[in-house]
Amino acid sequence: MVEDLRLDSLEGVGPVTTRKLSDAGVHNVMDLIVRGPVEIAEITGMEKDTAEKIVNKARQHLVDGGLIAKHFTSASEIYKHRQSIGKITTGTNCLDTLFDGGLETQALTEVYGEFGCGKTQFAHTMSVMVQKTKEEGGLEGSVLYIDTENTFRPERIVSIAQAHEMDPEKVLDNIIVARAYNSAHQTLILEEAGPVIEENNVKLIVADSAVGLFRSEYLGRGTLSNRQQKLNHFVHLLSRIAETYNCAAIATNQVMASPDVFFGDPTRPIGGNVVAHTSTYRIYFKKSGKKRIARMVDSPHHPEEEVIFALGEAGVIDPEEAEKKTKKTTKKTTTTKKAKESKVEPEVETPEVEATPETPEVETPAEPVEAEPVDTTVEAEIDDAEPVEE
């Protein structure tokens, strides 16, 4: 391992250059690689040639230390390097199967789907799971959570940790939350993240949502290329950080309906191709009644398959777990509400009963048109069911 990642440990990088670099937010040798020569020249004002030399030295330094791969490597060396890839369990059998063991480090995983499909719940769950011991499928690492929509909820972390019999306080302590207020700020957080990642042994970086702020700030066709360029920069940065620091990275992305699609699924991720092209893995979440479907859309080595999962107090859960809970809730509802409410509110009870026949429908892959109306009922159902559970 390279002990010394300080900028001045590179030959020819003196105090002046070091200061110039750190003023521009480049704090260590890793950051030089992450940002690359073109950007280093841009942000420090140094000549492109000089920037290239420094970045090349940084690369060599890390290659010598065995931290990154050489330009030309044998397949067996790449294979060996890939052995250092860590996997984080999702805490469910179904999603672990889809991910072939768990969420990988050195990779960017895009999770996309419509509102309420569970992207944020998944990000919360992974923020807890990464902290588990290696024996339990975690990486004993901490989390950098970039929250762009103000949807990070420590309460959810507490419930998920408790459901997994972990100390909630410790779990909360290991999640560094960065609230991003605009797209430039969101990018800046990532640009400055190097030392935070290193000092805190961050093993998971979440960008939830990766795209939302870019989308809301760059409206209209005229600004589209500018937006895509900026988004491209952000997503590339995230992916390079994941690779360089051996972290897992999750970028969430909402989908919107494209009216021009007549066949197949009429939804498209709003990040368009930018996020898609940069991500190593792409997972599509879709509501299907009470359940959720997760599909591995694009992967260099996973088959394109689908699994069914559910959402609960413990975050993302196996569908069987949800069924157990539903049965309990149904029983409670019928016993407690029987006398008063069975006449008054028969609608609340009826969908609960329908929950079982829904399952076969879920097994047939994705028919968005049918799923939509079911969803509305389910949202209402969950909302109605929750207070009863308490």
DSSP 109-173: EEEEESTTSSHHHHHHHHHHHTTS-TTTT--S-EEEEEESSS---HHHHHHHHHHTT--HHHHHH
294, β-bridge pairs: 285, 307
Tokens of 319: 């569908």
Closer by beta carbon to ligand ATP, 15 or else 387: 387
Q: Which residues contact 141 (CB under 8 A, 6 or more apart)?
A: 130, 131, 174, 201, 202, 203, 204, 247
Q: Of 86, 91, 102, 118, which one interacts with ligand ATP (CB under 6 A)?
A: 118
Any contact of residue 121 with ligand ATP (CB under 6 A)?
yes
Any contact of residue 288 with ligand ATP (CB under 6 A)?
no
Any contact of residue 92 with ligand ATP (CB under 6 A)?
no
347 binds, among ligand ATP, Mg ion, none (CB under 5 to 8 A by kind): none
382 binds, among Mg ion, ligand ATP, none (CB under 5 to 8 A by kind): ligand ATP
What is the nearest approach in angstroms of ligand ATP to the Cβ of residue 216?
A: 13
Q: Which residues contact 12 (CB under 8 A, 6 or more apart)?
A: 53, 54, 57
Given a contact cutoff of 8 angstroms between Cβ atoms, the answer to whether 190 and 39 are in contact is: no
Any contact of residue 117 with ligand ATP (CB under 6 A)?
yes
Q: Of 120, 125, 278, 333, which one interacts with ligand ATP (CB under 6 A)?
A: 120
Q: What is the rounded distance in angstroms from the CA atom of residue 68 to the CA atom of residue 61? A: 9
Q: Of 116, 195, 266, 272, which one interacts with ligand ATP (CB under 6 A)?
A: 116
Q: Which of 266, 243, 174 is nearest to 34 (CA)?
A: 243
Q: Which of 313, 293, 363, 364 is nearest to 98 (CA)?
A: 293
Q: Of 28, 254, 267, 278, which one interacts with ligand ATP (CB under 6 A)?
A: 254
Tokens of 258: 């494209």
What is the nearest approach in angstroms of ligand ATP to the Cβ of residue 143?
A: 16
Candidate ranges 112-120, 125-133, 166-174, 258-266; the one touching ligand ATP (CB under 6 A): 112-120
Q: What is the rounded distance in angstroms from the CA atom of residue 328 to the CA atom of residue 167? A: 26
Tokens of 377: 């009922």
Any contact of residue 372 with ligand ATP (CB under 6 A)?
no
Any contact of residue 105 with Mg ion (CB under 5 A)?
no
Any contact of residue 23 with ligand ATP (CB under 6 A)?
no
Closer by beta carbon to ligand ATP, 121 or else 239: 121
Tokens of 363: 């097994």
Q: Of 196, 217, 382, 384, which one interacts with ligand ATP (CB under 6 A)?
A: 382
Site map for Mg ion, 113-152, x if CB under 5 A? ------xx------------------------------x-
326 binds, among ligand ATP, Mg ion, none (CB under 5 to 8 A by kind): none
H-helix segments, 135-271? 154-163, 168-173, 183-191, 194-199, 212-217, 224-244
Can you give the binding site for Mg ion, defined by CB under 5 A?
119-120, 151
